[in-house]
Chains A and B, each alone.
Chain A
Amino acid sequence: MNDEKKLLNVTIDGVELEVPAGTTILAAAERVGAVIPRYCYHPGLSAPAVCRMCLVEVEGAPKPLASCVQPVQDDMVVHTNTAQARKARRAAVEFLLMNHPLDCPICDAAGQCELQDYAFETGQLKTRYVEPKLVMGRDKVTPEIVYFADRCILCTRCVRFMDEIAKDPVLVVINRGQRGYIDTMTGELFENPFSINIVDVCPVGALVNEDFLFKARAWDLDQTASICPGCSQGCNVSLGTKEERIVRAKPRFNPEVNSYWMCDHGRKTVINWGAGARIEVPMARDGDELKPVDWPQALDALSEAIGNEPGRARAIVSAGASNESLFTLRRLMEELGSDGGVFRVPTGPEAELPGFPKLKLRRDRVPNAKGAELLGFQRSDAVFDSAQGHRGALFVLEDTLEGAPDGFGTNAELFVYIGTRLNPAARSADIVLPSTTFAEMAGTFTNFEGRVQRFEQALRGPGLARPWWLTGSALLERLGAGGRYRTAAEVFAALASEVSEYEGLNYEVLGLKGAGAPGSSAAATAG
């Protein structure tokens, strides 16, 4: 049988199309733009057809069919929005709302709740159910996830995520019918490094992350496409920001990297990233103390110091800095004569997601170690050793300098600290330049397999903080070393023309899903 190659004719809402055999009606309908409501169906999970929301009318079929599991047959004629289909769905919503508390005003899912949407759309504004609603209360399923049993519609997405993707079948539906609820078999809390995905898959507000509970309304958040900085996997995320804070990160679908999922570590890392005390103004040394200056003064001081020929340059960079920033620093160091730079990589235990083996919480807990390596920086466990006795120019780019030895950088002729927070060790710098976090600028990270992925600016930087590639390129222009870059895309274009691993890449090629650098293992999969 060559079923997979066979194309079937199907008519959906009057539109004829050809789909491969085995396609479900729901998937085929999506191709013609017909939106079929669904709760239990999730593209990343199996479909048990328990919610009965995706019922459609098929000509010749005695009753409406569940489109999420029904494969298309040849010459099938499907109507997704006829009176019969609508009536069937309306009845399904009415049953789901029977015991649903309708506490939308205090429910965290309001605004992103599929039940709310369809109940409103189908006009279920009054109930015919006269019995008192069943009240079941709330419980925790993990230390961080709260379960509101009343709101649950028993779609079993969370159960199936734990079964099929996490391969850790801890969740079950307990009891039957309207008394059914989700819990672990023993009632104990469970822990799994990917557990918060069950909050994402929940179509209603039954499973809620404590980190986000009552924090913000869904419609208050600004969503920005970004990359998780938690490890070298580089999960595609969309950052939810409110009032210049990152409130949450949700996975953004990318079949090559993280599918629909991401780990709990990443989500927790990214919340409030960059909040708190920051370096907000450039500072230049005046005798014994660092004096705040404005940007032109800072650049004057820096270009003057560089003009005094401090000697060859060494650097300690952070593997959390973007490719653009690292490249700009490399250019600057080449002007002075580069002695190379080092970066350190904090590590942690690895965790994998068996149902989607491409996605792991990687050992390297930084997003851009590979990118730093490709730009010629050395990975090192003892980053301070090489810099300690250095007498020339010393640059520190976004490294926290935590654990730096006493008197770090005092030997250097010129010590420039570019970063976000002023560690005591950074106070001995000659010039301190405030830079931005990944969320406060656009840029790219290169993940563990060499896949280059873009992230967009979600927040404003504090005070006068600017991305280092912006200030760095202004400085290079003053030194007469190349043009000034005004956007991250321009820096990346220059980078791609200079570094062979990035050849042929630019921001348009990368798009929102990223692309593998040629010659890397990602190139084969990215195509």
Chain B
Amino acid sequence: MPIGVKTVDRPEVESSYLRATLKGMALTFKHLVRPVTASQQYPEEKYEVSPRWRGTHRMAVHVDGRAKCVACGLCPTVCPANCIKLIPAEDENGERYAAVYEIDEFRCIFCGYCQEVCPVEAIHVGVHYENAEYSRERFVYDLERLCAQKHPFTQLWDPEDPASE
């Protein structure tokens, strides 16, 4: 059986490009004079995130700038992704402190267990999402870098609802 070709007659009015083009241009002109901004003007305008957003880490510090961490080892123990490296040591006052404290943010799954388990409220996940770097190595945050972070700490519980704790 030969293949038949069926020619459909389209009405000129509907198949004309001119009409659609004018319609589009009309919309463009409309927005030129009365703009509607549905999209967000990032990075001028930052995205508002929940206070319970779990982003990259931040270490709480004492007033003198020392990290609050006592190197107890609970966060590397609880961490399901094994992304925390901690080597404890003794300082000149005989106190335990973290000689090495590194978090691999690539490995981290941002579960927030480290913040939850910390007995001295030192390590926190933060309300923060801008993490771009030029090299992969920079994603291993050392103690100095963790202490230098300034973003707000994540709230583990809904601050509006104390019963959620």
Chain B CB within 8 A of A106 CB: yes
- CB atoms of A106 and B72 under 8 A apart: yes
- CB atoms of B120 and A105 under 8 A apart: yes
Chain A CB within 8 A of B59 CB: no
Q: How far is the CB of A9 from the nearest CB of chain B, in Å?
A: 47
Chain B CB within 8 A of A138 CB: yes
Chain B CB within 8 A of A90 CB: no
Complex CA–CA separation, A454 to B91 (angstroms): 40
Q: How far is the CB of A109 from the nearest CB of chain B, in Å?
A: 12
Chain B CB within 8 A of A278 CB: no
Residue in B71, B72, B77, B95 with the greatest tally of chain A CB atoms within 10 Å: B72
Residues of B within 8 A of A138 (CB): 94
Closest B residue by C-beta to A106: B96
Q: How far is the CB of A101 from the nearest CB of chain B, in Å?
A: 13
Complex CA–CA separation, A106 to B88 (angstroms): 10
Q: Which of A104, A110, A214, A219 has a CB less than 8 Å from the CB of B88?
A: A214
Q: How far is the CB of B89 from the nearest CB of chain A, in Å?
A: 6
Residues of B within 8 A of A105 (CB): 70, 72, 74, 119-120
Chain B CB within 8 A of A220 CB: yes
Chain A CB within 8 A of B73 CB: yes
- CB atoms of A219 and B77 under 8 A apart: yes
Contacting A at CB under 8 A, from B21-50, are none
Residues of B within 8 A of A217 (CB): 72-73, 77
Closest A residue by C-beta to B90: A214
Residues of A within 8 A of B74 (CB): 105
Closest B residue by C-beta to A105: B72
Complex CA–CA separation, A214 to B71 (angstroms): 9
Interface of A is mostly: mixed
Chain B CB within 8 A of A213 CB: yes
Contacting B at CB under 8 A, from A213-228, are 213-215, 217, 219-220
Q: Mark B59-89, 1 if CB is under 8 A from A, else 0.
A: 0000000000011111001000000000011
Contacting B at CB under 8 A, from A347-380, are none
Number of interface residues of B (CB under 8 A): 14
Residues of B within 8 A of A219 (CB): 77
Closest B residue by C-beta to A243: B87
Complex CA–CA separation, A220 to B86 (angstroms): 12
Closest B residue by C-beta to A220: B73
- CB atoms of A214 and B96 under 8 A apart: yes
- CB atoms of A106 and B77 under 8 A apart: no
Residues of B within 8 A of A110 (CB): 72
Complex CA–CA separation, A104 to B73 (angstroms): 11
Residues of A within 8 A of B120 (CB): 105
Residues of B within 8 A of A220 (CB): 73, 77
- CB atoms of A214 and B89 under 8 A apart: yes
Contacting A at CB under 8 A, from B88-114, are 88-90, 94-96
Closest B residue by C-beta to A146: B94
Residues of A within 8 A of B71 (CB): 106, 214
Residues of A within 8 A of B72 (CB): 104-106, 110, 217
Complex CA–CA separation, A217 to B94 (angstroms): 17
Q: How far is the CB of A182 from the nearest CB of chain B, in Å?
A: 18
Q: How far is the CB of A269 from the nearest CB of chain B, in Å?
A: 23
- CB atoms of B90 and A213 under 8 A apart: yes
Q: How far is the CB of A272 from the nearest CB of chain B, in Å?
A: 15
Complex CA–CA separation, A101 to B77 (angstroms): 23
Complex CA–CA separation, A104 to B77 (angstroms): 15
Closest A residue by C-beta to B95: A106
Q: How far is the CB of A100 from the nearest CB of chain B, in Å?
A: 15
Complex CA–CA separation, A104 to B72 (angstroms): 8
Q: How far is the CB of B96 from the nearest CB of chain A, in Å?
A: 4
Q: How far is the CB of A148 from the nearest CB of chain B, in Å?
A: 10
- CB atoms of B90 and A106 under 8 A apart: no
Complex CA–CA separation, A217 to B90 (angstroms): 14
Closest B residue by C-beta to A110: B72
Q: How far is the CB of B43 from the nearest CB of chain A, in Å?
A: 40
Complex CA–CA separation, A138 to B96 (angstroms): 14
Residues of A within 8 A of B73 (CB): 217, 220
Complex CA–CA separation, A214 to B96 (angstroms): 7
Q: How far is the CB of A362 from the nearest CB of chain B, in Å?
A: 34
Complex CA–CA separation, A214 to B95 (angstroms): 9
Closest A residue by C-beta to B91: A214
Contacting B at CB under 8 A, from A80-108, are 104-106
Leading 8 A-B pairs by shortest Cβ distance: A105-B72, A105-B119, A106-B96, A217-B73, A214-B88, A106-B70, A214-B96, A214-B90
**A binding-site residues for B, Cβ under 8 Å:** 104-106, 110, 138, 213-215, 217, 219-220
Q: A105-B74, A214-B88, A217-B73 are in contact. List 20 more A-B contacts (CB 8 A).
A: A104-B72, A104-B119, A105-B70, A105-B120, A106-B70, A106-B71, A106-B72, A106-B95, A106-B96, A110-B72, A213-B90, A214-B71, A214-B89, A214-B90, A214-B96, A215-B88, A217-B72, A219-B77, A220-B73, A220-B77
**B binding-site residues for A, Cβ under 8 Å:** 70-74, 77, 88-90, 94-96, 119-120
User: Would you give 12 A-B contacts (Cβ < 8 Å), ordered by A?
Assistant: A104-B72, A104-B119, A105-B72, A105-B120, A106-B72, A106-B96, A213-B90, A214-B88, A214-B90, A217-B72, A217-B73, A220-B77
